[in-house]
Amino acid sequence: MTAPDLNLLATLNVLLAEGSVARAAQRLRLSPSAMSRALARLRATTGDPLLVRAGRGLVPTPRAIELRERVGRLVEEGEAALRPAATLDLKKLVRTFTLRTSDGFVENFGPALIARIGREAPGVRLRFVPKPDKDSTPLRDGAVDLDTGVVGPTTGPELRVQALFRDRFIAVVRKGHALSRGTMTPARYAAGRHVFVSRRGLDRGPIDDALAPLGLERQIVTIVGGFAAALALARATDLIASVPQRHTGNLRAGMHSFPLPVSLPPVTISLLWHPRLDADPAHRWLRACVRDVCAA
């Protein structure tokens, strides 16, 4: 069965409203003959004459009367769907956004982000969910609105990406730790007892690769899944935690931090989202909020 031409809905709506081929043609800026041909197509599609002659004018059939309100509503809804989105009223916006981030991102940037959103759009709620991996599926299927992290080979190629800030790894120990005094060297750093962070349970990373050419190897005492846990252990023991500086600013309060004695390239933390949300006004506003909070 051939699908009906939906463009005929707008023509039918005008014909039923005007009750005249000539007036409908004028309103749609068509010639009377083109409008007559459109009416013929409508009659063939609906199986009903729709408008029949009565004296010098046309009157609607019972089927046309039945369709008039329904067709008008369909045309209005179609036009509304194709209009540009209305200006966003943040004070009236009621929506929950899901952000997939690391624990350090939430603890360091979450308070300022929540405060700003509360001021600008009190009806908006943020749901922070953990980031166990770099899988892009939650963004694709709509389970997550925004993601933050380092772009890698497994990042979906269709995702939109915007850099938020650059971060570098530093070493952190409790206040009064032996490494909080004196000159730091690679050998002195490696000789300490370390807590290693790996979501996948690995036992070495870029720092270990940088120490290896120097003939040095860290003693990794324990492995945890997040930077918050690593810093909590370092705060209460003599362990050394190596963590990203900006991601952990609030978590390191009262602790001693120092640059790593080996050279590592900085990492770029980015904001990621699916292109279907690119033009959504509320989503664009949220992205701007995250960017501004991270820039501050």
Q: What is the pLDDT of residues 236-264, one digit of tens each?
A: 999 999 999 988 888 899 999 999 999 99
Task: Please report, rounded to a whole number, the percentage of residues in the chain having pLDDT higher than 90.
Answer: 51
Pair type for strands 267-273 and 160-167:
antiparallel
Tell me the domain boundaries of the chain.
7-82, 90-144+275-295, 169-265
Residues 6+ apart with CB under 8 A from 223: 195, 196, 197, 198, 201, 202, 203
Q: Is 24 helix (H, G, I), strand (E, B) or coil?
A: helix
3-state secondary structure 151-188: CCCCCCCCCEEEEEEEECEEEEECCCCHHHCCCCCHHH
Greatest CA span in the chain, whole angstroms?
A: 107
Confidence band, pLDDT 50/70/90 cuts, at residue 125: very high
pLDDT grade, residue 212 (50/70/90)? very high
Does position 107 have pLDDT exceeding 90, yes or no?
no
Contacts of 201 (CB under 8 A, 6+ apart): 223
Q: Enumerate the β-bridge partners of residue 125.
A: 96
Residues 6 or more apart whose CB falls under 8 angstroms from that of 19 comprise 51, 57, 58, 59, 60
> What is the overall mean pLDDT for the chain?
89
**Which amino acid belongs to residue 291?**
R
Backbone angles phi, psi at 191, to 5 degrees: -70, -15
pLDDT at 195: 96
Tell me the average pLDDT across 214-234: 93
Fold of 90-144+275-295: D-Maltodextrin-Binding Protein; domain 2 (3.40.190)
**Confidence grade of residue 86 (pLDDT, cut at 50, 70, 90):** low
CB atoms within 10 A of CB 234: 24
What's the pLDDT score for residue 84?
66
Q: Within the chain, how many helices (H) and strands (E) appear?
A: 10, 12
What residues form DSSP beta bridges with 272? 147, 161
Would you place residue 105 in the very low, low, confident or very high pLDDT band (cuts 50, 70, 90)?
confident
Token pair, residue 33, equals: 């003959």
Contact 194, 208 (CB under 8 A): no
Task: Answer whether residue 153 shows pLDDT above 70.
Answer: yes
Rounded to whole angstroms, how far apart are CA atoms 122 and 111? 15
Say how many C-beta atoms besides its own lie within 10 A of residue 102's C-beta: 22
What mean pLDDT do residues 32-52 have? Answer: 90
Using CA atoms, how far apart are residues 216 and 212, in angstroms rounded to an integer? 5
pTM over 0.75: no
Q: Which residue from 88, 118, 145 is spatially nearest to 272, judged by alpha carbons?
A: 145
Q: Is pLDDT of 58 > 60?
A: yes
Please give the single-letter amino acid code of residue 176.
G
CATH code linked to domain 169-265:
3.40.190.10
Structure-block tokens of residue 109: 């940037």
The CATH code that applies to domain 7-82 is 1.10.10.10
Contact indicator for 193, 242 with CB cutoff of 8 Å? no
Q: 7-82 and 90-144+275-295 share one CATH topology?
A: no
